Amino acid sequence: MWDEHRPTRTHTDQQGQAGSVKVRVGPCASVSGFTMKRALPLLLAVLFLTTLASADSREPRFITFAAKEKSGIYLRNLKMSEVSLLVDDQPVKVSYLGYKNVETAIAFVLENSPRTAPHPVSMPQWGKVNPIDQIRYQLVSDYFDRLVKNGTVMIAEFSKETKLLQDFTNDEFQLEDAINRMQPNSIELMPENIEVGRAFAFGLERLRKRPEKRKVLVLVTTTVDRESYKNMEEYQETLRRNDVDLYVVSFAPRFPAGSGTTFEEKMNRLFFLNLVEETGGKLYLSGEYAFITEFTGDLRTRLENSYTLGFYPPDGGDEPSDHAIKIVARNEKVSVTHRKKMIW
């Protein structure tokens, strides 16, 4: 009879989230004497577990980072005990650390306009090469093979509007088919009014809804436009609110000079640097198309050698605000690239 009315509880899972607690009180229970003495510790335990469950019910946040030794070699196989996280200079528990086995969602958003496809067909023998074709050639050359091992990839193109070519999938053949179906858009009018910000928002919104712990947006474009530049601070804040890493390939001069330099070319580097630095991503910038192979190779290497850290944000107050982030891997001598601020 005692066993039937004994208090029962569920165990906590690996993330430290407490399960429910069930208390059954039979007809022989009393509110006084020996039974009350036994009930008091139980009530305290219930309050403790309820508080723990409430604390861990917050949404976790994820940060992707890369760690390099002085030699420039990526650190591999870091253990959770070797990584520490500081939020506003205060230590916070690392609840998750993933390396090559992290579920990943990657969105490629490629500009396909007269700016990136000035020729109907690329003809290298005549010196006519579309920058977008250079990217396409790289992507269909077994590029997706390793990327889809731990997740899914989406492909979209944009000019005046953004068009989805292939939704998230881990089928590399579908991805290559989507790239092959792209036709150089060399005849559209007024290519200077292409709003990069809209394409950026398209990819970010698609990624934001994904369940994967690691989310990456790769934006391939020429230069920023005036309208998007006006909204730079808004885009920066959006990136601090969302756990999405941004990488940008821009076909523009690194340091434009001369009387013919446009406003877009002057502001391009500043705009994209400010955005990628919000996430610990990287800007690949050059008007020299010969470097595209190096860009795509470096991007894949970096994605393959990054870690993803998960944590439960400490209380940030009634209103969302900026919080300073610092990650230390092994020791202070190791160079760690990661986002510096987050909002919650």
Question: What is residue 90's predicted lDDT score, i.e. its pLDDT?
Answer: 97
- Is the predicted pLDDT of residue 1 greater than 70, yes or no? no
Phi, psi (degrees; rounded to nearest 5) at 123: -135, 85
Whether 64 shows a pLDDT value over 90: the answer reads yes
Residues 40 and 108 in one domain: no
Question: What confidence category does residue 311 fall into, taking pLDDT thresholds of 50, 70 and 90?
Answer: very high
Let me know whether 192 and 236 are in one domain.
yes
Q: Which residue has the higher pLDDT, 119 or 232?
A: 232
Residue 24 is part of which domain span? 3-56
- Report the percentage of the chain scoring pLDDT > 70: 81
25 and 141, same domain (yes or no):
no
Tell the residue number behind the tokens 């730079």, with chain if given.
232
Please compute the mean of the pLDDT values over residues 194-222 and round it to a whole number.
Answer: 96
Of residues 205 and 286, which shows the higher confidence score?
A: 205
The mean pLDDT of 290-296, rounded to a whole number, is 77
* Residue 248 pLDDT grade (very low, low, confident, very high; cuts 50, 70, 90): very high
Contact of 238 with 244, CB cutoff 8 Å: no
CB 275 within 8 A of CB 235: yes
Q: What percent of the chain has pLDDT over 90?
A: 55
* Count: domains in the chain: 3
Measured CA to CA, the distance from residue 337 to residue 341 in angstroms comes to: 12
Helix (H, G, I), strand (E, B), or coil: what is residue 343?
strand
Of the two residues 15 and 309, the one the predictor is more confident about is 309
Whole-number pLDDT of residue 287: 66
**Who contacts 65 (Cβ-Cβ below 8 Å, separation ≥6)?**
280, 306, 307, 308, 309, 327, 329, 336, 337, 338
pLDDT at 328: 96
pLDDT number for residue 254: 79
Claim to verify: residue 69 and residue 132 sit in the same structural domain: no
- Tell whether 136 and 206 lie within a shared domain: yes
Q: What is the DSSP string of 15-40?
A: T-----EE----TT--SSHHHHHHHH
Q: CATH number of the domain at 250, please.
A: 3.40.50.410
In this structure, are 130 and 26 located in the same domain?
no
Please tell me whether residues 51 and 76 are part of one structural domain: no
111 and 190 in one domain?
Answer: yes
pLDDT of 194 > 80? The answer is yes
Q: Say if residue 226 is in the same domain as residue 336.
A: no
Out of 33-37, 76-80, 323-327, which region has the weakest mean confidence (pLDDT)? 33-37
Asked if 68 and 160 sit in the same domain, the reply is: no
Give the global pTM. Answer: 0.81
Distance between CA atoms of residues 105 and 69, nearest Å: 27
Pair (160, 257) in one structural domain: yes
pLDDT exceeds 90 at position 104: yes
* Whether 92 and 151 share a structural domain: no
Q: pLDDT category, 290, cuts 50, 70, 90?
A: low
Q: How sure is the predictor about 38, in pLDDT bands with cuts at 50, 70 and 90?
A: low
